[in-house]
Amino acid sequence: MSGANRLTRARRRLGLPRLPSSRRDLRLVARTVRLVLGVPAYGALAVVVSVLALSGFVLSQNVALVRDTVIGGSLPLDARLTILVEQYPFVGTVYEPLPGAMLVVIALLTGANVAVVAYHLRENGILGGDERDGAGAGGTSAGGSVGGAVGVFLGALGAGCAACGSAVLVGVFSLVGASGVVLFLPFDGLEFTLLALVPLGLSLFWLADGMRGAEIRGCPVDI
Amino acid sequence: MDFTRRSALATVGVAGLGALAGCLGGTSGSGDGGGANGTPIGDHPAGAGLDSQPALGPADAGATVVAFEDPSCPTCRNFERNAGERLRSGPVADGDLRFVSRVYPIIYPWGKPAVQALEAVYAREGGEEAYWALFDHYFAEQGAFDTDTVLDRTESFLAANTDLDASGVVADAEAEAYDDAVQTDLDAGSAAGADRTPTLFLFRDGTYVTRASGNVSYETIASALRL
């Protein structure tokens, strides 16, 4: 028996969800996301969540500034808006292009995750007790939903912390006398942002895997 | 438990939005270090010993920026390239802003000897101009410094560009002769809650307005201080 087969058996014994292993799996994820976001309500939800996610990431880096000048304080409206938009990637100077792009990608993935989770729960009746015909709610459906929520949570948390960059990492590490640890992070904390892509990507796959056999807008998810 | 689709969606939404906080409330600059909005600059932790700090711009300027920076910090370098230079060539030169520099060596190891050298330069007679020249040099040539070369390069720069006793400055930096000044800044930053670099404390008409961290833009600071 090959190593891959042994791993598969061990995973099944432990009840763990499977991992993407082929291009077909990636196509499944892409097709599922495309079909779900093609539904106007879910597309709008994804956009709203993505904007909220990005806002959460970037505004969390300067809470006091936003609180004292955008929300509170006595600045005129145009000054408040200027301060607000200047915190976002590609508008202000806070983020270099690559970290800024990564944050946008993670925000978009977060939006897609929430939209697919919402679709799965609502349209396939996973938790509503009225599972529909054709909804392939196999063993991975609920797991996919939970995995999706966990993935969104971990991904967002990881991205939020990664956005802090090396300066915060140094601050944290210096508390335990290990500020030199950042010397081993060649991309100044971007590594953490990249790590956040893993749970987000996996959660999308688990959701899509759980929706195999279902139809979205009359189209089969798995072809 | 009556677990409906709506409550499930709400749970997912709340979990997602909660997660978006990321570092919110942690090491994200949410603390004020005792400096509430409207605190007089003299009573704010970031303003401790302010009169003995390197500063550009008139003491009676309507706005003040107290900047905690580390010469070895790439984000500080980016801030200096973007906003710092514009602030000093614009509002500072026009007399509308006072820009106060405080050293905060918390990033790479070579920042520690670098700030010792900066304080040794500033302590010398006529050293203020040389302080800003060396300050700019550290950021302009940041990639060329490490713990083995920083003081040699500092000495070369001072010898070539200032009238100061360059070898004396380096000897003082090696002996940490002005460590009290460094510690004053570290204590002030710590008390003010500066947990990253750069951290800027903004004051308008002598009272605290807010703080900003990271490579914030000129427009952000100018808008917050109504420059």
- Closest residue in A to B33 (Cα–Cα): A64
Q: Kindly report whether the global pTM for this prediction surpasses the value 0.85.
A: no
Q: Which residues contact A131 (CB under 8 A, 6 or more apart)?
A: A124, A125, A137
Residues of A in contact with B19 (CB under 8 A): 152-157, 160
Residue B58 CB neighbours (<10 A): 13
Whether B156 contacts chain A with CB within 8 A: no
Query: Do A96 and A188 meet the contact criterion of CB atoms below 8 Å apart?
Result: no
Selecting from B16, B109, B196 the residue whose C-beta is nearest the C-beta of A171 gives B196
Q: What spatial distance separates the first Cα and last Cα of chain B, rounded to whole Å?
A: 57
Determine the pLDDT at residue A125: 64
Contact A166 B226 (CB under 8 A): no
Residue B183 CB neighbours (<10 A): 12
Please compute the mean of the pLDDT values over residues A149-170 and round it to a whole number. Answer: 48
Tell how many helices (H) and how many strands (E) occur in chain A.
9, 2
Contact B21 A60 (CB under 8 A): yes
Determine the pLDDT at residue A201: 83
- Closest residue in A to B196 (Cα–Cα): A167
Whether A8 contacts chain B with CB within 8 A: no
Q: Which residues contact B5 (CB under 8 A, 6 or more apart)?
A: A121, A122, A125, A127, A128
Contact A174 B106 (CB under 8 A): yes
DSSP state of B75: H
User: Which positions 164-203 of A are in contact with B (Cβ < 8 Å)?
Assistant: 164-168, 170-172, 174, 179-180, 182-183, 188
Mutate to test the interface with A, among B146, B200, B208, B220 (most CBs of A within 10 A): B220
B30/B194 Cα distance (integer angstroms): 10
CA A156 to each of CA A38, A87, A121, A169: distance values in angstroms, whole numbers, following the listed order: 24, 18, 20, 17
Determine the pLDDT at residue A208: 82
Is a pLDDT exceeding 90 seen at residue B29?
Answer: no
Residue A132 CB neighbours (<10 A): 12
Report residue A189's pLDDT band, with 50, 70 and 90 as the boundaries.
low
Is a pLDDT exceeding 50 seen at residue B4?
Answer: no
The mean pLDDT value of chain A amounts to 74
Burial class (CB in 10 A: 0-12, 13-18, 19+), A210: buried
> Which of A194, A203, A186, A100 is closest to A152 using CA atoms?
A203
Give the three-class secondary structure for B37.
Answer: coil
The separation between CA B102 and the C-alpha centre of its own chain, rounded to angstroms, equals 6
Selecting from B5, B109, B196 the residue whose C-beta is nearest the C-beta of A180 gives B109
Contacts 24+ apart (CB under 8 A), B154-157: B154/B114, B154/B117, B157/B133
What is the percent of chain B where pLDDT is above 90?
Answer: 78
Residue B214 CB neighbours (<10 A): 28
Query: Do B180 and B196 meet the contact criterion of CB atoms below 8 Å apart?
Result: no
Q: Using one digit for the tens of pLDDT, what is the confidence trace for B85-131?
A: 999 999 999 999 999 999 999 988 999 999 999 999 999 998 999 99
* Residue found by looking up tokens 């808008």 in the block: B223
Determine the pLDDT at residue A217: 66
Q: Using one digit for the tens of pLDDT, what is the confidence trace for B73-86?
A: 999 999 999 999 99
Q: Which residues contact A157 (CB under 8 A, 6 or more apart)?
A: A196, B19, B22
Please compute the mean of the pLDDT values over residues B24-32 and round it to a whole number. Answer: 43
Q: Using one digit for the tens of pLDDT, what is the confidence trace for B137-187?
A: 999 999 999 999 999 999 999 999 999 999 999 999 999 999 999 999 999
